[in-house]
Amino acid sequence: MSLKMIGRGILPVLGVGVLLLPSPPVQAAPQHFERHFAVKGRPVVILQNVANGRIEVKSSKNSEVVVVATQASNKIGVVAEQAEERIDVTATILDNSAPANELEANFTLTVPEETELQLKSQTGLVYVEQVMGDMTLQSVAGDIHLKEVSGYIVVRTTGGSLVCTQCAGKLNFNSISGNAQVLQPGLSSVTLFTMSGNILFDGEFIRTGIYTMKSGKGTVEVHFSGNDSFDLNAQTATGTVDNQAEALLRPDSHGVRHIASRFTKGLFGTVGSGLAKVELSSYSGTIRILKRD
Amino acid sequence: MQLAGNSSMDVSLRQNLDIVDKFIVDCEQRVKEQPQDELTREYLSGAYQQKAELISAMMDRGGSGN
């Protein structure tokens, strides 16, 4: 057999062998998206992130909305459009069969200080800092952290928790298993409901403010100061009320005689002049009322 | 209601549906024992509403009823 013939016989076999060698996994290339939108007044920014990933919103003195997105792969499409003062951003999944780590898109928005927000996230953290304007924030499993924001704030989660630090205006939170922490607030209206999460309110009750906090199975804990002025109504169906501020609580001073239901446990009382209204309730969780040091 | 996916979001939705279902069972039992308990009725009504919203979200993600 000639050398030429051996070559003819071996080379195709080698070629097939090379083709069959396991190839290293193809690394999805991260994608970068950045758009600048000039705005005149108070813009409305709408962001819907169907992919996984976090959304971070910060403010600046500039009259523009900057949208920056980092995508794990090209399996996610990001579209941003402007209609005068409305900026609409959407992240959609282009390939549902892609692995989860390729379906991640993280957003950073820089907006004017006065901006309205409508953000929808799936699993990542939503973080908003120093924005003034009404906002609706929705998440399934991601947490929502707000710092120094004001306006009418609506937060809806399935399992995500809320931490609201130095928030002002009005807050409405609704969740199934998420916790809610409201710290150092300047809120005149608070409505918190969670089915199994815990609630912590640590701050001042503004005079004329209305505060309603309900947890089905979790703990509702309120810390107030001796200078606060509010009427308190705390009721639980099968849980307990732990009032560690009994010395400050007096019978209702407004002449309304509250009669507790014989099916619930609870207390009514007034701290100071009873100017704000505080309603706490649980189905089976503990209600804890504490005076801050 | 079942979701086919195993993403963290599908898992979260299923876990939360389970939480709502157990809470509803608990409240219904209490209402049977104490029909005049208005507070529990209020929680039960809220739980039905939460369940409806959750199922709607699951259907949007491509779940199928069972």
Residue ending a domain, choose from A121, A151, A179: A121
Same domain for A160 and A256: yes
CA A163/CA A219 separation, integer angstroms: 16
Structural domain including A275 reads: 143-293
Same domain for A244 and A159: yes
A281 in reach of chain B (CB within 8 A): yes
User: For residue A281, which residues of chain B lie inside 8 Å, CB to CB?
Assistant: 39
Residue A7: predicted pLDDT: 44
Region of residue A31 (left: phi > 0; alpha: psi -120 to 50; beta: else): beta
pLDDT in tens, A206-252: 999 999 999 999 999 999 988 899 999 999 999 999 998 888 888 87
Structure tokens at A144: 């929502």
Please judge whether B15 and A177 are an interchain contact, meaning their C-beta atoms are less than 8 angstroms apart: yes
Please judge whether B13 and A158 are an interchain contact, meaning their C-beta atoms are less than 8 angstroms apart: yes
CB A138 within 8 A of CB A119: yes
Domain presence at residue A277 = yes
Domain presence at residue A15 = no
For testing the chain B interface, which of A140, A236, A265, A284 should be mutated: the one with the most B CBs within 10 Å?
A140
Calculate the alpha carbon distances from A90 to A54, A87, A106, A119, A206 in Å: 14, 10, 12, 10, 38
Domain presence at residue A165 = yes
Same domain for A147 and A278: yes
- A61 in helix, strand or coil? coil
Residue ending a domain, choose from A88, A121, A154: A121
Same domain for A292 and A147: yes
User: For residue A141, which residues of chain B lie inside 8 Å, CB to CB?
Assistant: 8-9, 12
For testing the chain A interface, which of B6, B13, B16, B17 should be mutated: the one with the most A CBs within 10 Å?
B16
pLDDT in tens, A103-156: 889 999 999 999 999 999 999 999 999 999 999 999 999 999 999 999 999 999
Please judge whether A140 and B57 are an interchain contact, meaning their C-beta atoms are less than 8 angstroms apart: yes
Same domain for A225 and A192: yes
Residue A247: predicted pLDDT: 83
- A56 in helix, strand or coil? strand
Domain presence at residue A6 = no
Alpha-carbon torsion (B42, A211, B55, B52), positive or negative? positive
Domain presence at residue A256 = yes
Domain presence at residue A20 = no
Same domain for A270 and A158: yes
Domain presence at residue A114 = yes
CB A199 within 8 A of CB A242: no
Residue ending a domain, choose from A56, A90, A121: A121
Helix B38-60 to helix B8-33 angle, to the nearest 10 degrees? 150
Q: What are phi and psi of A227, to 5 degrees?
A: -85, -10
User: In chain A, how many domains are there?
Assistant: 2
Number of A:B CB contacts under 8 A? 75
Same domain for A42 and A154: no
| Residue among A13, B13, A52 at smallest CA distance from B3 | B13
Domain presence at residue A79 = yes
Q: Find the closest chain B residue to A234 by CA distance.
A: B39
Percent of chain A residues past pLDDT 70, beyond the cut: 88
Same domain for A60 and A92: yes
- pLDDT lower than 70: segments of chain B: 1-6, 63-66
pTM exceeds 0.95, yes or no: no
Residues 236-255 on A with a CB inside 8 Å of B are 236-238
A193 in reach of chain B (CB within 8 A): yes
Task: Determine how β-strand A105-112 pairs with β-strand A135-139.
Answer: unpaired
Give the residue, A278 or A75, on which the prediction is more confident: A278
Same domain for A171 and A65: no
Q: Find the closest chain A residue to B58 by CA distance.
A: A140
Same domain for A172 and A109: no
Please judge whether A236 and B39 are an interchain contact, meaning their C-beta atoms are less than 8 angstroms apart: yes
User: For residue A100, which residues of chain B lie inside 8 Å, CB to CB?
Assistant: 7-8
Residue A289: predicted pLDDT: 95
Same domain for A187 and A69: no
Same domain for A99 and A53: yes
